[in-house]
Amino acid sequence: TLCLIIQDERVLLSIKKLGRLGVGYWNGYGGTVEVEKGETVEHAVIREVEEEAGVTPRDIVKLGQVLYRFTPGNFRLEMHIYRAESFNGKPRESPEMGEPTWFSFDALPEAMWRGDRLWLPYVFSGTKFSGTIDHDENNNVIAHDIRVG
């Protein structure tokens, strides 16, 4: 799961400090669905934002679903991407994520997953999308197919 908090044509991001993927990259907030506990994707995204940013997103809207494929190793990750325009609480740093920072849509940080730039404009505009993104071992996008709708 991944949630992007959007306000006034800005997005709230943090540098990932811990975890299996993306350490050192700016990202939204999210993580794994605890299926064994009966958790839904929607509950997982809210829980992860609370844990990682210290805020509770309100009125989340699912906009996208992307299958990330990584080579070598044939590792796959299905990402459910949500947008929230409001939240309760004050954003804060957590053990997993760095200090939350607002970025203008047209001034995003350089250190991000390269594939995210393919679908971020859809999140910013509130457009539904789906697709696949293939990355090599250096985080380069080697193929992609993102569709609106």
Question: Can you tell me the distance from the alpha carbon of 80 to that of 3, in angstroms, rounded to the nearest whole number?
Answer: 8
Per-residue pLDDT of the chain (149 residues; tens, 9 = 90+): 999 999 999 999 999 999 878 899 999 999 999 999 999 999 999 999 999 999 999 999 999 999 999 887 788 999 999 999 999 999 999 999 999 999 999 999 999 998 999 999 999 999 999 999 999 988 899 999 999 99
pLDDT of residue 1: 94
Secondary structure of residue 68 in the 3-state scheme:
strand
The set of residues, in sequence order, having a beta carbon less than 8 Å from that of 93 and lying 6+ positions away, is: 14, 99, 100
CA max distance for the chain: 41
Closest CA relative to residue 44, chosen from 11, 91, 79: 79
pTM of the predicted protein model: 0.94
